């Protein structure tokens, strides 16, 4: 559990890693912006004080760009009906280790920009607050939110599934995540952890949203529903595992140390998400779509490896020590180069979901 907490300190990644993480997050946000804005209009059409929450906000400008676009869209719709502009309450959530000071330093400029664009001689009020804590639990008062977003976060589990070590021996030996080579017992544990986490996420949001409120989220997913074949189609973690194996052969890291390392990562299928939503019972699915992105079109192997550093550095440093980072990701880059030269697929599958709270809790 300590390892996972350290992972979620993620944004202590250093400037280079953060820049790559921020760039990738920005592209994801831009790709789902139309769905986000249309959902915001539905959720906030007749609300006098609009409450918005972004979960897993990190500490860069991306989260504020989403909020800015939501505010612009809501205000433009109100002008069309000659109605008074609403007030806005914005909640930015991440774990307590997030650099909220860096985020808050961007808020005055953001508020001034919003006021300059939308203040028609009156006062448009935009209040911003930070809410530290895990989104796998309650964060806000009951029926207090109208619109929630979360981007590129929900594929990270709250913890590494329990039971991956049996009497000190790894039952996932040779793998660092739930891969196609993992035993069925490993897949069972990852599926169970995902179900527990995602159901808790839905229950918490159901209590916090008003009826008619909406959630828009995106996460990595897989195209095959079978929970033990073609798992995690994004190849970064498979390549990362092979890179660690190479370091074992070079006597740079102990095999036992690698065997005890597992990522708290699970990419569900759309069917799994649907099942969990219907099982929880508070939401209808307004929209769900899945896209596949071939990263070789836009990114070099080095850039792709930097994305992997941004996502995993804190976990790796906590488990192996920081000195492993340079040789590990040099090897990782080389293996990605070899994949590219061999014409292998390097990409990821992204699932975008819009939920509407339809039942009072």
Higher pLDDT, 358 or 117: 358
Element (DSSP H or E) covering residue 51: strand 49-55
pTM for this predicted structure: 0.89
How many alpha carbons lie under 13 Å from residue 4 in its C-beta half-sphere? 13
- pLDDT single digits (tens) 96-131: 988 899 999 999 999 999 988 876 656 789 999 999
pLDDT grade, residue 326 (50/70/90)? very high
Q: Are 136 and 200 in contact (CB under 8 A)?
A: yes
CATH number reported for the structural domain that contains residue 124 in this entry: 3.40.50.150
Residue ranges making up the domain that contains 123: 2-357
Angle at alpha carbon of residue 134, lines to 67 and 101, rounded to 5° = 55
Q: Which residues pair with 265 in a beta bridge?
A: 156
- 271-299 per-residue burial string, b: 16 or more CB within 10 A, e: under 16: ebbeebbeebebbeebeeeeeebebbeeb
How many independent structural domains does the chain possess? 1
């Amino acid at each position: 559990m300590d390892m996972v907490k350290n992972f979620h300190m993620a944004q202590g990644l250093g400037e280079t890693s953060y820049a790559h993480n921020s760039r990738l997050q920005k592209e994801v946000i831009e790709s789902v912006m139309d769905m986000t804005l249309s959902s915001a209009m539905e959720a906030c059409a007749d609300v006098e004080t609009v409450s918005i929450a972004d979960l897993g906000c990190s500490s860069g400008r991306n989260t504020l760009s989403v909020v800015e676009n939501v505010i612009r869209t809501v205000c433009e719709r109100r002008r069309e009906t000659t109605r008074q502009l609403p007030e806005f309450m914005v909640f930015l959530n991440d774990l307590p280790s997030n650099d909220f000071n860096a985020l808050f330093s961007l808020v005055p400029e953001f508020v001034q920009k919003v006021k300059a664009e939308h203040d028609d001689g009156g006062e448009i009020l935009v209040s911003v607050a930070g809410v530290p804590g895990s989104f796998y639990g309650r964060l806000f008062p009951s029926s207090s939110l109208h619109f929630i977003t979360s981007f590129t976060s929900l594929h990270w589990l709250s913890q590494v599934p329990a039971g991956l070590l049996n009497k000190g021996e790894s039952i996932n030996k040779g793998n660092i995540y739930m891969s196609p080579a993992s035993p069925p017992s490993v897949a069972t544990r990852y599926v169970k952890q995902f179900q527990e986490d995602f159901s808790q996420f839905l229950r918490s949001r159901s209590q916090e949203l008003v009826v008619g409120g909406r959630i828009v989220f995106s996460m990595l997913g897989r195209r095959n529903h079978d929970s033990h074949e073609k798992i995690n189609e994004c190849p970064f973690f498979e390549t990362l595992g092979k890179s660690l194996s190479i370091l074992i052969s070079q006597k740079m890291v102990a095999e036992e140390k690698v065997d005890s390392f597992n990522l708290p990562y699970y990419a569900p299928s759309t069917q799994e998400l649907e099942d969990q939503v219907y099982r929880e019972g508070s939401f209808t699915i307004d929209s769900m779509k899945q896209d596949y992105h071939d990263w070789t079109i836009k990114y070099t192997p080095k850039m792709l490896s930097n994305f992997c550093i941004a996502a995993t550095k804190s976990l790796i440093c906590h488990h192996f020590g920081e000195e492993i980072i340079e040789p590990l990701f040099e090897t990782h880059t080389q293996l990605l180069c070899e994949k590219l030269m061999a014409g292998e697929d390097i990409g990821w599958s992204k699932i975008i979901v819009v939920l509407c709270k339809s039942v009072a809790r």
